Amino acid sequence: MATDSSVHLGHVHLKVRDVERALDFYQGVLDLEVSERPGNYAFLTFGEHHHDVALQGVGDNAPGPGRGVGLYHAAFEVDTPARLREVYQRLRERGVGVSPVDHGISKALYFDDPAGNGLEVYVDTRDEHGPEWEGTNRRFDPEAL
């Protein structure tokens, strides 16, 4: 099934404490649009699918995500370094802590959404550096992109 080009990741489903706060974040940082908003759910799309991200409101007292076994982060690929810089600037404007990492094969921004879910936004740089990851993890300046 992995070689079937008709298969793709359908969506990421995230549990959040406050759906409205999460909507503001995902719309403002990643330009996602609401495709449907039933009850304590919000379905967000980049435009081609009904939803790329599903947000489920679980209430203010819900426990936070752990960093042990389980989902580490959801990643979103952007098409240009300039777009990655724009996302970085939006995150900084919101006061979100960002960890920029140059992996050689990609330049990535790591951060948490308001509910503590780990996220990555990256641009693929394999064309410049070759197709294989060599285990490099260096900090870079997203403003210089």
User: What average pLDDT does the structure give for the chain?
Assistant: 91
Give pLDDT tens digits for 114-145. Answer: 999 999 999 999 898 888 888 889 999 999 99
Residue 1: per-residue pLDDT: 44
- Nearest Cα neighbor of 30 from 42, 50, 17, 44 is 44
- Nearest Cα neighbor of 129 from 145, 110, 106 is 106
CATH topology identical between 1-59 and 72-145: yes
DSSP state of 63: P
Q: How confident is the model at residue 72 (pLDDT cuts 50, 70, 90)?
A: confident
Residue 79 φ/ψ region, left for φ over 0, alpha for ψ in the -120 to 50 degree band, beta for the rest: alpha
Give pLDDT tens digits for 76-120. Answer: 999 999 999 999 999 999 999 999 999 999 999 999 999 999 999
For the chain, the first-to-last Cα distance in angstroms comes to: 37
Q: Is the pLDDT of residue 20 over 80?
A: yes
List Cβ neighbours of 124 (8 Å cut-off, separation of 6 or more). Answer: 77, 105, 106
Domain ranges in the chain are: 1-59, 72-145
Residue 81: per-residue pLDDT: 96
Residue 4: per-residue pLDDT: 64
The fold of the 72-145 domain, in CATH, is: 2,3-Dihydroxybiphenyl 1,2-Dioxygenase; domain 1 (3.10.180)
Q: Which CATH number fits domain 1-59: 3.10.180.10, 3.50.50.60, 1.10.1200.10, 3.30.9.30?
A: 3.10.180.10
List Cβ neighbours of 33 (8 Å cut-off, separation of 6 or more). Answer: 27, 44, 45, 46, 47
List Cβ neighbours of 11 (8 Å cut-off, separation of 6 or more). Answer: 49, 51, 52, 53, 54
